[in-house]
Amino acid sequence: MKYKDLTGNRIGKLTVIEPTEQRVRNAVVWKCRCDCGNEILVESRRLKQGGIYSCGCEKSPYEGLKDLTGLQFGKLTVIGKSGHKAKDGNPLWLCKCQCGNIIETTKRRLITGNTSSCGCGRKPPLKDWVGKRFGMLTVLSYVRKEKGFHIWHCRCDCGNEVDVRQTNLQNGWTRSCGCQRSPQKNLHYEKGTCVEMLQTETLYKSNTSGVRGVYYNAKRRKWIAQIMFRQKCYYLGGYDQIEEAAEARAEAEEKIFGDFLKWYHKTHPEKEKSPCRR
């Protein structure tokens, strides 16, 4: 099993010593030594700034902190509360990135290091695509990063304007605003999987989270992420924050759907330019 080597890393008062054979939900458990001399075991998910601070001998400086205004987390500087709330009810903070973009995020994502920029330094990389054409679409401007994906605002040759994922433009899956697509045509199936359905962001009416493949489990008090592929459901984990579950889902889509669609268009070149979703 491959994993990132954290040996020697400093997290708060902890120094990572070595990995152990233990696993928690497939995550590596590391042996860490606190500055006070105690040694503890910590899973890799918590070994990031704000995830853990010490063996328990001292609290994190962020614990109980109510006002984050002026604090810096990675490339982000907190401006103040935005006045909005996340879907889990937690207040959102307005942050300015070093690149100039303004984003909203939660306190937990800031102090745990899950959000340290507006997305300008994360994968997939942000392209300079303003003015570039993809099929019938011309890129007008960059919009935002949403659910793990960069979004671009485009104008179609028919005059409509739409927001499109960067990966869909890059791989040729979206080549129009949808004006060329007939709902009764251009649907392709491979081993029971509808290619066009993998590329849509349409939510089922029963979805209450607003994120495809994510729902709240009240009994576990976790946001559950899962993904359906070839008539099988794959469990992606339970998370305290909906943003974490959405990110896990986005990563799974990128890996599972992305690899499948690349293979499909490579083996079916005659269907590569068929109209896709918005």
Q: How confident is the model at residue 168 (pLDDT cuts 50, 70, 90)?
A: confident
Q: What is the mean pLDDT of the chain?
A: 78
Residue 236 has pLDDT above 70, yes or no: yes
Percent of the chain scoring above 70 in pLDDT: 76
pLDDT, greater one: 244 or 145:
244
Mean pLDDT of 85-93: 82
Whole-angstrom distance, CA of residue 225 vs CA of residue 216:
9
Pick the range with the lowest mean pLDDT from 12-21, 143-152, 232-241, 257-266. 257-266
The contacts of residue 233 (CB under 8 Å, 6+ apart) are 226, 227
pLDDT of 18: 93
pLDDT, greater one: 273 or 69:
69
Mean pLDDT of 246-275: 68
Q: Are residues 230 and 193 in contact, defined by beta-carbon separation less than 8 angstroms?
A: yes
Residue 277 has pLDDT above 60, yes or no: no
Pick the range with the lowest mean pLDDT from 21-35, 78-92, 205-219, 250-264. 250-264
Q: How confident is the model at residue 29 (pLDDT cuts 50, 70, 90)?
A: very high
pLDDT, greater one: 225 or 187:
225
Q: How far is CA 171 from CA 17, 44, 162, 175, 265, in A?
A: 42, 33, 17, 10, 9
pLDDT of 275: 40
Mean pLDDT of 82-88: 81
Q: Are residues 135 and 172 in contact, defined by beta-carbon separation less than 8 angstroms?
A: yes
Q: What pLDDT, in 10s, does the model give residues 32-56?
A: 999 999 999 998 888 876 678 888 8
pLDDT of 24: 84
Pick the range with the lowest mean pLDDT from 54-68, 184-198, 227-241. 184-198
Nearest to 116 by CA among 78, 73, 62: 73
Q: How confident is the model at residue 193 (pLDDT cuts 50, 70, 90)?
A: low
Residue 2 has pLDDT above 60, yes or no: yes
Q: Are residues 109 and 243 in contact, defined by beta-carbon separation less than 8 angstroms?
A: yes
pLDDT of 184: 45
Percent of the chain scoring above 90 in pLDDT: 10
Q: What pLDDT, in 10s, does the model give residues 95-113?
A: 998 888 888 888 888 877 7
Mean pLDDT of 47-71: 79
pTM of the model: 0.37
Q: How confident is the model at residue 274 (pLDDT cuts 50, 70, 90)?
A: very low
3-class secondary-structure state, position 202: coil
